[in-house]
Structure 1
Amino acid sequence: MPHTFDLLVIGDANPDVVLGPLDEPLAFGQREQLVPTGLLTLGGSAAITACGAARLGLRVAIAGRVGDDEAGRFVRAALTDRGVDTAALRVDPNLSTPLTTVLTRADGDRAILTAAGTLDATGPEDVPEELLTRSRHVHAASYFLMPRLAKALPDLLGTARAHGAGTSLDTNDDPSGRWDPTGLAAVLPTVDVLLPNAQEALALARMPTGTPEQAAERLAAQGPLVVVKNGGEGAFAHDGRTVLRTRGIPARPLDTVGAGDSFDAGYLAALLAGESPGRALELAAACGALSTRAHGGTPAQPTWDEAVAAVARNGKNQ
């Protein structure tokens, strides 16, 4: 049976309001603080990854839930404009679309405030089985933001795998700070590639005093290849026995929001293109770095040719 899509992305999609950089502590007491830039853009880890993959040339669909409101219509239009199929992006008649405000600082750090809206209600009924069985790869994002969907992921990813699809997961942050391993223990054996950043890897492995490499080894023992985004130091992949590394792509970032999601898109696109593991890491690092050239997660996402050129330049400079 032919595949309808190269990539199905399951998860969150919402508007982001990105403000900053803030050069002093956030003040309450009804004080107004001025920042140099502000942007209304598409956000949500799943949405940013989907857009990045479409920009790289993949046929991409997204499954999830938004509200019947202006924010939901903004999200759908933004995804469609970037070439992502939104037929499976369900409209909830009662709940609002999630909304996120991102406050950035000049040092690259940021604070993120999210109104959950439809996130808690998003569940397995929002993921059509036809997409699971007709996509080459299925990627899930923001595991801890959608507890109903998270509980169903072992079955959803298992169905995709049974029909020959690859699977991947980027849990992103856990706002509760609990990093409950119970559900994760069930889902990791159904995941081919786990894509945390270094801090997330340590939290997922419950190793607060360990190294990212040790955390990745522990996570890989549960099944997936663990690909860790490690900021300016680049990235590495751990299969439980060996570690493969790539150094970071030099960049002068305007905004790092969504860079990890663009990295995910690059890695998955390279994987689906049949690139070697080392080459996939290089291309993913390039996609993450190039996405920081503009404010917001999607405006500066690279094309495949741009990512390839960045890898080539980096190689010449080694």
Structure 2
Amino acid sequence: MAKVITLGETMVCFSPDSAAPLRYVSSFHPRIAGAESNLAVGLAKLGHEVLWISRLGEDEFGHYVQNMIRSEGVDTRAVRFDEANPTGIMFKETSRGETAVYYYRKHSAASAMEPEDLDESLFEEAEILHITGITPVLSESCRRTVERAVELAKRHGVRISFDPNIRRKLWGDRDYAPMLRDFCRESQILLMGLDEAKVLYGGESPEEIFAAVYGDGAVQLAVLKDGGNGAWASDGKQILYLEPWPCRPVDPIGAGDAFNAAFLAGVLEGCDLQTCGRMGAVAGAMATETDGDTEGYPDRRKLQRILENREQIYR
């Protein structure tokens, strides 16, 4: 049985073959993109059993997504194929080192997820449920599905890991911050971007934010990620600064999910807070060094070599 369960939408992502406004791009290549499946792939590469739950369209894109995720060692048996709704797609646009994304996911199969899509038996031997703030804002049925997953996790003693993963394009004119704070309070492991934490908790410094986090809710471990500036981790008793791992970034998308995956791998392995944080920092940095969300994620051997400061022999 999978030790980690996650659920959410994965889309087919069309990446341009040139850096320019999309009106001038004539060719694209497909990849997959989804915060939760990114995390699942990251954990699987590090040798952990992980289950990804979602709905995909009963179309060629849906089978492409499942094949890609399954090929990385992720358990996809809980995926449902939807004949009434299509697989979501998105397009990337790159220019001057920046990446913009355009979503075409309205009425997608994943947005039609229902609580009935969750098999309670899957939670009986799991250790961690990882959710994000993306899925519950896709639709009311998705919100109910995430709430049901949290309920099942609590019933079976499964720790809840939450990344708010704020997506303003999905929020529209609604304020989902109160709902996301509710999920924060339900979680034992909270993995946030520093900017997201400021939106949800209002503090400016890590100390202020951690004080707010631990003053309300069930949180046992919390992380504030700040990209190339490093990160901070706390267990409620101490705050550790995690230096950024040196890298040559190409595309930052997927780095936060890589950090989450490696950090949770450390938690599953019983590592101390410093080691969990260092694992996350290394994986997050490596994720930025390739195009695509997960292509740069390290496997167990590569991550271990870096953690042990062993030199890689190439020739």
TM-score by length of 2: 0.86
Displacement, 1:168?
0.5
Question: Residues 263, 12 of structure 1: CA spacing in aligned structure 2 closer, same or farther, 3 A cutoff?
Answer: same
Partner of 1:32: 24
Partner of 2:152: 159
The aligned runs of 1:169-184 (5 Å cut-off) are 169-174=162-167, 175=169, 176=171, 178-184=174-180
Contact 2:14 2:90 (C-alpha < 8 Å) held by counterparts = yes
Contact 1:10 1:46 (C-alpha < 8 Å) held by counterparts = yes
Displacement, 1:84?
0.8
Letter in 2 for 1:217: A
Displacement, 1:226?
2.4
Q: 2:275 aligns with which of 266, 275, 279?
A: 279
RMSD (CA atoms):
2.4
TM-score by length of 1: 0.86
The aligned runs of 1:110-259 (5 Å cut-off) are 110-116=99-105, 117-141=108-132, 142-143=134-135, 144-174=137-167, 175=169, 176=171, 178-205=174-201, 207=202, 210-211=204-205, 213-223=207-217, 224=219, 225-240=221-236, 242-259=238-255
Contact 2:54 2:113 (C-alpha < 8 Å) held by counterparts = yes
CA deviation digits over 1:91-140, x for unaligned, max 9?
A: 11111111121223343x32121112124312322222111222121111
Of 118-127 and 49-58, more deviation after overlay is shown by 118-127
Question: Residues 123, 240 of structure 1: CA spacing in aligned structure 2 closer, same or farther, 3 A cutoff?
Answer: farther
Letter in 1 for 2:68: A
**Per the alignment, in what secondary structure is the counterpart of residue 278 of structure 1?**
helix
CA–CA distance in 1 between the matches of 2:144 and 2:288?
33
Uncovered stretches (5+) of structure 2, i.e. residues with no partner: 311-315
CA–CA distance in 2 between the matches of 1:226 and 1:128?
29
Letter in 2 for 1:157: V
Contact 1:266 1:284 (C-alpha < 8 Å) held by counterparts = yes
Of 8-17 and 234-243, more deviation after overlay is shown by 234-243
CA–CA distance in 1 between the matches of 2:237 and 2:200?
19
Contact 1:217 1:241 (C-alpha < 8 Å) held by counterparts = no
**Per the alignment, in what secondary structure is the counterpart of residue 12 of structure 2?**
strand
Contact 2:9 2:111 (C-alpha < 8 Å) held by counterparts = no
Partner of 2:63: 73
Contact 2:283 2:298 (C-alpha < 8 Å) held by counterparts = yes
CA–CA distance in 2 between the matches of 1:52 and 1:146?
26
CA–CA distance in 2 between the matches of 1:195 and 1:158?
20
CA–CA distance in 1 between the matches of 2:54 and 2:118?
7
Contact 1:137 1:167 (C-alpha < 8 Å) held by counterparts = yes
**Per the alignment, in what secondary structure is the counterpart of residue 295 of structure 2?**
coil
**Per the alignment, in what secondary structure is the counterpart of residue 196 of structure 1?**
strand
Question: Residues 313, 160 of structure 1: CA spacing in aligned structure 2 closer, same or farther, 3 A cutoff?
Answer: same
1:305 aligns with 2:294: no
Q: 2:82 aligns with which of 85, 92, 95?
A: 92
Contact 2:177 2:199 (C-alpha < 8 Å) held by counterparts = no
Partner of 2:13: 16
CA–CA distance in 2 between the matches of 1:221 and 1:111?
36
Displacement, 1:15?
1.4
Displacement, 1:269?
0.8
**Per the alignment, in what secondary structure is the counterpart of residue 223 of structure 2?**
strand
CA–CA distance in 1 between the matches of 2:96 and 2:216?
38
Displacement, 1:275?
0.6
Displacement, 1:233?
1.5
**Per the alignment, in what secondary structure is the counterpart of residue 78 of structure 2?**
strand
Structure 1 runs (4+) greater than 4 angstroms displaced: none
CA deviation digits over 1:265-316, x for unaligned, max 9?
A: 11111110111011100001111111222210122210122122223449xx
Aligned residues: 301
CA–CA distance in 1 between the matches of 2:72 and 2:54?
17
Question: Residues 305, 161 of structure 1: CA spacing in aligned structure 2 closer, same or farther, 3 A cutoff?
Answer: farther
Uncovered stretches (5+) of structure 1, i.e. residues with no partner: none
Letter in 2 for 1:11: G
Displacement, 1:196?
1.8
1:266 aligns with 2:262: yes
CA deviation digits over 1:205-264, x for unaligned, max 9?
A: 2x2x73455334323433223212111111112345542221010000222221111111
